[in-house]
């Protein structure tokens, strides 16, 4: 295995040297396709959704069993014993994430709501979150009646640890550390800030299921983790989500909240004698069809992560020596998922040129995606909620807080200057080499200006 990898590395270096030579020569091969040269690929490269590419008879078998037994509901059904697909998924998910407990829910958004409940976030509380993340992060805070407080991102595209402390007030209760687009947030810097100010840390691993930070699975390092199992994520049943924690009280509150405020036998068996009373709940329960598919997918998680990481590493290895190249900051390169490889430019205009030239080469790249610069959205700027007297925005702090592009200039600047290819675990060596060839061809021409 080691020999294979070393041989592979040598071949890679030879290939890159040849590509560099080719790109350095004048002539048709190095002329940008955007300027009339031959494109690296005739048929544009296109990343696919990861999980469904791995669907096979394993997922089929799980679904068939639910159909054949007629037992689609997790708590009970035909027969004396409760169905066990969701429960087994929870057990194996907790083991994979190295936490004591895992709770399956209907979506990553539902998992965020459960997290807010677990931490007892409510009116008067403030939650710090990155300005660039998914709607659900902001919305879950607002639905809890609390106040979202945005901080800037850094060049890892995650919460900038240096921008957290100035946002903390006596009302701050929670830091939402989101691991965006496969890249772990810098927890070694975020956790001490949280501990110093007696704040909880929620890891949002929705976009980084299966990634790790310094050897530990994401979602096992802060106080609680949430995951999305929706189509765009590492493994999927179309929709789905999960919560992990090793704290029995946080787990019990999340489990009660995801159901009707009661603790069911299945969960009582894992968490022990209840410590809380019944309270107002929801229904974010996962069904057995989803549980079965996700169980099959979970057993393939390491294969998918291994494949996409290997492809990302080949790309990094193949472009790292380009003079002047600067890549997205990786707080732990070993733990990153490798969902995409991002290259920095001095200006937004150069980044636009890079994107256009790469598209012409048949290797499309994009700016960081899958999230939104939330403080720039009209519904957030205008604090629009389902009821005008929503408690998030009726307090003096809630009335005074300002959102808008002027509150996150660094986030806007950074996201405008990075672009790169999304990666796919099933890309062939040829596909990956085409990415490397295209970047080696285009980057020097664009970066020169
Ligand atoms: C960072 C982040 N958190 C939470 C979610 C919500 O997950 P879901 O779509 O499963 O509700 C997403 C979805 O993309 C996300 O990107």
The token pair that represents 7 in the structure block:
């041989």
- Residue 3, pLDDT score: 37
Question: How many helical (H) and strand (E) elements, i.e. helices and strands, does the chain have?
Answer: 16, 13
Q: What is the rounded distance in angstroms from the CA atom of residue 375 to the CA atom of residue 156?
A: 19
Which atom, in ligand 1's list, is nearest to the CA of 239? 10
pLDDT bracket for residue 448 (50, 70, 90): confident
Q: What is the DSSP string of 189-207?
A: HHHHHHHHTT-EEEEE-TT
Contact assessment for residue 251 and residue 118, using Cβ atoms and an 8 Å cutoff = yes
Q: What is the rounded distance in angstroms from the CA atom of residue 284 to the CA atom of residue 267?
A: 15
> Which residues does the annotation mark as catalytic?
233
Q: What is the rounded distance in angstroms from the CA atom of residue 407 to the CA atom of residue 410?
A: 9
Q: What is the rounded distance in angstroms from the CA atom of residue 47 to the CA atom of residue 428?
A: 11
Which atom, in ligand 1's list, is nearest to the CA of 110? 11
Q: What is the rounded distance in angstroms from the CA atom of residue 252 to the CA atom of residue 272?
A: 9
Residue for token digits 């704290």? 247
Average pLDDT over residues 140-169: 98
Ligand 1 centroid to Cα of residue 321, in Å, is 35
The pTM for the full model equals 0.94
Ligand 1 centroid to Cα of residue 208, in Å, is 10
Q: What is the DSSP string of 374-442?
A: GGGSHHHHTT--SSTT-GGGTSHHHHH---SGGG-HHHHHHHHHEEB-B--TT--HHHHHHHHHHHHHH
Residue 2 has pLDDT above 90, yes or no: no
For 62-95, what is each residue's pLDDT tens digit? 999 999 999 999 999 999 999 999 999 999 999 9
- Residue 68, pLDDT score: 98
Mutate to test the pocket of ligand 1, among 136, 140, 180, 218 (most ligand atoms within 8 A of CB): 136
Q: What is the rounded distance in angstroms from the CA atom of residue 412 to the CA atom of residue 329?
A: 16
Residue 38 has pLDDT above 80, yes or no: yes
Does the beta carbon of 230 lie inside 6 Å of ligand 1? yes
Ligand 1 centroid to Cα of residue 194, in Å, is 23
Contact assessment for residue 328 and residue 156, using Cβ atoms and an 8 Å cutoff = yes
Does the beta carbon of 345 lie inside 6 Å of ligand 1? no
Does the beta carbon of 51 lie inside 6 Å of ligand 1? no
Residue 376 has pLDDT above 60, yes or no: yes
Number of other residues whose CB lies within 10 A of the CB of residue 82: 17
Does the beta carbon of 432 lie inside 6 Å of ligand 1? no
Nearest to 131 by CA among 376, 374, 390, 313: 374
Ligand 1 centroid to Cα of residue 109, in Å, is 6
Does the beta carbon of 206 lie inside 6 Å of ligand 1? yes
For 218-273, what is each residue's pLDDT tens digit? 999 999 999 999 999 999 999 999 999 999 999 999 999 999 999 999 999 999 99
Does the beta carbon of 136 lie inside 6 Å of ligand 1? yes
- Residue 30, pLDDT score: 84
Average pLDDT over residues 39-58: 97
Residue 11 has pLDDT above 80, yes or no: no
């Amino acid at each position: 295995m080691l020999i294979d990898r070393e041989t592979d590395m040598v071949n890679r270096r030879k290939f890159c040297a040849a590509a560099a030579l080719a790109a350095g020569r004048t002539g048709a091969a190095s002329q940008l396709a955007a300027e009339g040269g031959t494109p690296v690929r005739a048929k544009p490269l296109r990343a696919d959704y990861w999980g469904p590419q791995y669907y096979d008879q394993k997922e089929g078998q799980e679904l068939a069993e639910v159909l054949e037994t007629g037992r689609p509901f997790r708590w009970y059904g035909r027969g004396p014993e409760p169905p066990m697909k969701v429960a087994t998924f929870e057990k194996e998910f907790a083991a994979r994430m190295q936490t004591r407990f895992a709770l399956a829910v209907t979506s990553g958004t539902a998992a965020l709501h459960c997290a807010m409940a677990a931490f007892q976030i409510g009116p008067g509380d403030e939650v710090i979150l990155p300005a660039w993340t998914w709607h659900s992060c902001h919305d879950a805070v607002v639905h809890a009646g609390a106040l979202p407080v945005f901080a800037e991102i850094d060049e890892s595209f995650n919460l900038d640890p240096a921008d957290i402390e100035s946002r903390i007030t006596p009302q701050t209760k929670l830091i939402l550390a989101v691991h965006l687009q496969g890249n772990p947030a810098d927890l070694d810097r975020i956790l001490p800030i949280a501990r110093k100010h007696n704040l909880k840390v929620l890891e949002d691993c929705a976009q980084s299921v299966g990634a790790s930070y310094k050897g530990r699975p994401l979602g096992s390092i802060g106080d609680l983790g949430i995951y999305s199992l929706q189509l765009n994520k590492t493994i999927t049943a179309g929709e789905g989500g999960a919560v992990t924690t090793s704290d029995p009280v946080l787990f019990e509150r999340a489990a009660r909240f995801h159901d009707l405020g009661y603790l069911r036998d299945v969960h009582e068996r894992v968490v022990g004698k209840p410590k809380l009373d019944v309270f107002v709940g929801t229904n974010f329960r996962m069904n057995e069809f989803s549980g079965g598919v996700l169980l099959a997918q979970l057993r393939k998680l390491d294969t998918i992560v291994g494949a996409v990481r290997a492809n990302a590493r080949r790309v990094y290895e193949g472009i790292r020596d380009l003079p002047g190249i600067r890549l997205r900051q990786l707080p732990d390169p070993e733990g990153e998922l490798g969902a995409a490889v991002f290259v920095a430019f001095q200006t937004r205009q150069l980044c636009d040129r890079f994107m256009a030239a790469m598209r012409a080469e048949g290797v499309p790249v994009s700016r960081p995606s899958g999230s939104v610069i939330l403080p720039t959205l009209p519904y957030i700027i205008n604090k629009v909620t389902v009821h005008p007297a929503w408690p998030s925005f009726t307090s003096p702090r809630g009335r005074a807080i300002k959102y808008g592009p002027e509150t996150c200039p660094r986030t806007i600047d950074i996201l405008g200057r990075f672009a790169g290819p999304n990666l796919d675990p099933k890309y062939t060596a040829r596909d990956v080499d085409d990415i490397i060839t295209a970047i080696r061809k285009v980057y020097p021409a664009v970066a020169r200006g």
